[in-house]
Amino acid sequence: MLSSNGGGGPSANAGFPMERKHGLLGRMGGGVLMPIGMITARYFRQLDPCWFYTHMAIQVSGFAIGIAGVVLGFRLNEDGLKNVDVHKALGPGGAIEAFVEARKAGKVRFLGFSAHSVEAALVAMDQFDFDTVLFPINFVMYSQANFGPQVVQRAREKQMGMMAIKAMAKTVWPASIEKHHPYSKCWYKPTTLPKQAALALRWTLSQPDAAAVPPGEIEYFRLAMDVAERFTPVNEDETKTLMAQAKGLEPLFHLGSA
């Protein structure tokens, strides 16, 4: 019996194996939600502006669920991303060959990956010529943990598209309110609305070749749409202000994170 927990006993997921979860997430994200989002944009534009927000919410949800399925697929190989043999997955005979064949067949146009580890991202980028990378690009992580500039630089060298996540994140929740905070869709403490959050997003979008995926929390999602519509790059004074606000905060991720 295969087990993802590395132990010799029965898997804790025997009733609903990880393989089935992986398949379900992939089908829900790419096979159900993404097409529904496209249908919304195609046939409900008369319901302006509701169609747009509905379309974006469904597409982002489908993308996130699909990414979760991909991550779970990697976890099937070993207990955690840090133990995955990336070289094997991306090398000859590895899983990447199936995606390359899909691109050759015209089933997909671009190939990308996501990571929450600088080290894993750099290995993946060196092993294969991906089109895009989805990665946390955040002012606190940059300034307090040196987490992210390595991936941005490598993506620029390889002329890859950079899709940033966690742009409007601030720090971890204190243990006392970790499960009792007002933001049901944020496992982290977000930046303060509206000024700090807008500035944080503008800072991320000012990084080389970066686009950003907004968070699911509705107030931040709407603010992100406004920032994108009237976007201007941050200036030196704004950057200094933001970095001063980051000083002493605990980053969500560090170098060496799995």
Q: What is the average per-residue pLDDT within 155-183?
A: 93
Q: Please tell me the predicted confidence (pLDDT) of residue 234.
A: 98
Inter-residue contact 257 to 141 (CB < 8 Å): no
Q: Please tell me the predicted confidence (pLDDT) of residue 93.
A: 74
- Read off the DSSP letter of residue 172: P
Q: What is the 3-state secondary structure (H, E, C) of 65-117?
A: HHHHHHHHHHHCCCCCHHHCCHHHHHCCCCCHHHHHHHHHCCCCCCCEEECCC
Residues 6 or more apart in contact with residue 222 via CB below 8 angstroms? 53
Q: Please tell me the predicted confidence (pLDDT) of residue 61.
A: 82
Q: Residue 76's pLDDT band (boundaries 50, 70, 90)?
A: low
Q: Please tell me the predicted confidence (pLDDT) of residue 203.
A: 98
Q: How many CB atoms lie within 10 A of CB 136?
A: 25
Q: What is the average per-residue pLDDT within 181-186?
A: 88
33 has pLDDT over 90:
no
| Mean of the per-residue pLDDT values of the chain | 83
- Read off the DSSP letter of residue 31: I
Q: What is the average per-residue pLDDT within 10-35?
A: 67
* Residue 152 vs residues 43, 63, 109, 206, 217: alpha-carbon distances, Å: 38, 21, 22, 12, 26
How do residues 79-98 score in pLDDT, each as one tens digit?
444 434 565 677 677 788 88
Give the dihedral of Cα atoms 107, 111, 116, 119; nearest 10 deg. 140
How do residues 95-141 score in pLDDT, each as one tens digit?
888 889 988 999 889 999 999 999 999 999 999 999 999 999 999 99
Q: Residue 5's pLDDT band (boundaries 50, 70, 90)?
A: very low
Q: Please tell me the predicted confidence (pLDDT) of residue 48.
A: 72
How do residues 185-206 score in pLDDT, each as one tens digit?
889 999 999 999 999 999 999 9
Residues 6 or more apart in contact with residue 73 via CB below 8 angstroms? 22, 26, 95
